[in-house]
Structure 1
Amino acid sequence: MTIRPLVVTYKDNYRLSLIGVDVRKFSYRHRSIIFSLIYLTFVLSGCGGSDGGRSNTGEAPSDDTTPPTVSSDPSPTPVNGATQVPLNTSIRATFSEPINPDTLTSNTFIVLSVGISGGTAVSGTVAYTAETKTTTFTPTTLLEIDTTYTVTITTAVEDEAGNPMAAPYSWSFTTGSAIDNSPPSFPGNDPQLVVQATSSNSISLSWVAASDNTTTQSQLIYIICRSTVSTDCTANPFPTGGNVVITESQAGQTTLGVSGLGSNTTYYFVVRVKDQVNLLDGNTVQESATTFGAFVSLEASLNKNSSKDARDPSIAIVGSTPYLAWWEGNTPADVYVKTFDTTSETWSTETKINTVGNHALQPKIASNGAATPVAYITYTECNSGGANCKVYVKRNVGSTTWDLVGGELNVDGTKSAADSAIAFDGSNTPYVVWVEPDGSGINQIYVSHFNGSNWVQDGDSLNVDATKNGSNPAIAINGSTIKVSWTECIPNLNDCQLYVKGWDSTNSTWIPANPISLKAGDPGLPSRPDDVSLGFINQVLHVVWHENASVYARKEQGNTFVSVGTISTVVSTSSNAAFGSATTGSQVPFITLVDNSNATANQGPHLFVKKWDGTQWVTEGGGALNMTGGGGFQTITSAIGFSGGTPYVAWVEKGSCLVNNGCGQNNTNASQLYVKRLE
């Protein structure tokens, strides 16, 4: 005899159709028997297979057997025993788990007026809000004056798995004689809404509690409007559809986490408050936050030759075009520049900057900031053996043509200079800082500017102590304000100080003569501030550096510098702290750093981008930018530039490609160059 299986269809995790009959019409006990018969039928018909009798086209009934309950936090409203309840009140209850809304009706959510001869049913409508698991009963007419009402939720109410309430739930309240026409309000009509992005797809909200003349704070409900259009949520009433999403809080809740959002997107929020009679305030105070972006790779390895090490990338946005510079190879090495076409999303062929056969290194590229901006590059060029090194500057005068600006910048043509950086004043005049040894072999810090014909040295050496070696110079200019930072160390020791000086154009000198040391550790104890970066953010000078496995940031305030927080405490001793700022609206500091917190013997340190959100440094882009997964503790050097508010990050690393990330290199022993953009 052949036994054919019954036709079974599952829907929404709690509805089951059995030969066209809705099984919900049966009792819970009878449904359990039916499910058992279905299982037995499947087994006898040979349809069970290895999955324990599960249908090939349907899912097994839910394993949830816990009955739902009415929550006590928040408690039902009006609260049990309440008096002087407004005649136009609504009645709410929140459940312990999601409820099957089909089981919530005026026959299962019963409101009775209590009289001498028993209760009289109150007519009304029942609505269920799935987000908060809350049911609201709205009477059709006003309640009676000075009358006691009893509310009962029956055992016919079921959760989504079909489990009924184990027992009825009842409470009562007594009306007064008034109708509530006063909506709730926030203190000062301002919810003091705080909106903060927490990831590339989530935002957190918090606000202060409102108050009402009849509804307690614990029973007030908040309605949150969200939109990507700034004018939507300030309308009254809130609009629906389009870009607008309306969320209702649980009673008394003053925080909300919103997820499932788009990356790098600005969302606008307005919070309003509703009392137990459904009166809503008209607050229009709006706040916004932008979710973190995700970094997207701009092609694979950008090395000229993937078998040679790429080093010290520098990136700048000239107009709207990203320019990328780096040096590649061993002695002799070459300096290259590429540009990125944002329309075709492709990189140009690299252009060699230095003289063929010479050894070139340490490029820094920048825009002069003119109305028609021009790219400039400073770099060090030596003979083929890496000696007799000069600092030069070139400017881009054609797609692949770079003209020399003046001549060499060296103070003494017999000494080897290095480690230059470039910035421009408000008149688009280039200033360059570099390191060069004096006659005693001690490295001094020098600055020169170009007067249109020649390089003119600005003052003497910036070193605070001419017997100590200067290194890691950085320069930043805001209009006519010129600042330089550098590290100064006792020769052959990691006993260093970090200094900042400014140019006094009136007296043609660098001031102050004896600046305070900015190093994070005790100035009297050995440590080495390294990888110093400098920049003006909202006209305020910021400096960021790496010291003793931590990265620090400080900003100038009067005659001193104050902390902008410790950014990381587990960076590698060879990591850098590249620094930049978004350039749209109010500027925001960004840094790149290499963090060892997840490094292992087989997986190197990770490159992160962090930005200052006003109170703390937060990781931007959802995580590490790395393209490779191995290579041990390899040095990763990086740079950051901005097109408007969009950061571009360039860096070098070595190791095996991570799965499916398209890093595109074929040599795991050479450092490769990559660029990503935040989108």
Structure 2
Amino acid sequence: MSSKTSMKRFWHFIILFVLIGTGFGCGSGGGGGNSGKGGGPDTAPPHFQGLSKAEADPSGNGNIMLTAPEATDDQTGGPEMTYLIYVAETPEGIQRNGTTPHTFPGAGACDGGQCTFTLTGLKNDGSTTYYFGSNAKDAAGNLDQDAHPNEAALKVTPVSVTPQPIGGGNGGGGGGDGSIIASSSLNANGAMHAVHPSLSIVGDQRYVTWEECTPAPSATPDPADPTKRISTPGWANYHPCNQDTPAQIYVRKGTAWDLVTDSTLGGRTDLSRDPSHHNHNPTLVFDGTQLYTAWKERTSPTSHLFVFKFDGAVWSNTGFPDTASDDRPALTRHSVLGNALGMAYERSPGSNKQLFFRQYDGTWQSNIGPLNKNSALSAEAPVFSKKGDQLYVTWKEQTAAGSTPNIFVKRWNVTGSNWEEVGAGGPLNRDPSREARFPSIDLLGNVPYVAWHECFDSGCGREHIFVKHFDGSQWIQDKDTGICGDGPTADPTCGSLNVNSRFAETPSLVVHNDKVYVAWSERDFVTNKFAVHLKRLDGDKWFEITLPAGLFVNNAHSPILYSNGGLHIAWVEENAEGVLQLIVAKIG
């Protein structure tokens, strides 16, 4: 045998040995990414604790962000892992074998032991609540079999919340010190507090009015920051101005929120008849054609309640025959009144306040009232319903001279052109011995729903939000899961809407897309700041609308909801200097 042939056989032997060693052509004993430690197939599932948190995207774009600890596997590395996210509109809808999952590769979703999954394309108008499930899948296709202890409690009702910017036109968007975000603050003067917002919207025709007042100086240091001072309070933290100092009334309109001026006032951008006086409690109503606004101007020796009409270019005084004691107007253009404007307001003919109702159809008609349950006791703060075929009004009224206001409701009787009792006409309070404030009302179909806050101590330092509806014979509470009281006296069955504290106030209720929505301001136990919360009633259950975490940076107060085509919300929020700024946003 030649040396050449011997060498050839030698190399054939070497090649065959290498092929056998690598498993080439050896069937099921072959290698590849799915081989087990013992050379068999990978059948061991990965380990995964499941989703740990679900929240709205802080940017307010309506997306949902889910987080989870990263899964582990004995064969598949983290970047090669796949995560399956199941989404449904009911807890029972999470069927891993029947629900098409959203898939996320570990390489893009996980970092440093934590994974984030962003869900897009879901309904984000605040009308739908979503529930979640998950699995981790390794490269061999094995799904984790672990318990996911936190997933059952996770749910999110996403909304797209867009601050409505101001554009050009009349007036700027805030102060010149750089502390106010021009795209969110609607203040005419960012150095002034904005309080008492009121909205009225028909399609893309939008109007908002508010009061601006001067922050009162104070020598009291802020305990949280000794370099700052605490403003001298007026009525409350949502109205921190003294009624004896000047305050002006403003109106903005349209997609750019232009200031609506009065040409008769020499180029001023406010509507106040005299800007050196304290003008307050503004309200407005718009029916798609005509805009009316009303407010109180405190003067000496005679104060006035003004009602003005805007024709799109010029404001005109309706000549309301007021008295010096008239205050807190509420306006309605409900269809049951025909073409007339309706106004409820306070009047004090003696030592107590009474509520009266008057219509305007080119001239002011005679007073109807008082609406009080007991005309010898003071009644305040009337509010009209907006939706439905019937018109309701709600207010607070004392049940004993000088104390304990309760919430009452009446309905407009078209035939008798008067206000009538609803049911037995009794108070709506959960406990009539406790003070109730800030009622808000609207109709679902023709069923009235009322929200208010009720005090649990004599100083009204502990406040809870409650809702009731009238079922045709009695008022029924629409309970949520909030707990009233502390310690051994805590009541977990009281039905409070509060989220996580005992300090909630100024609720606003509207019906939108055949659902009841309630917004209010509540002080958070963790941050010690007031933030706006929003819930939706679906059947007999309340769902919190998951507002973006970054929406309320500082103390936020006085939310006002308005539904007509879209759902809008206005509120006032402190800037870095503690001055309240007016903000309007569209939800969904």
TM-score of the aligned structures, taking structure 1 as reference length? 0.44
Larger Rg: 1
Asked which structure has the greater RCO (Cα within 8 Å, sep 6+), the reply is: 2
TM-score of the aligned structures, taking structure 2 as reference length? 0.49
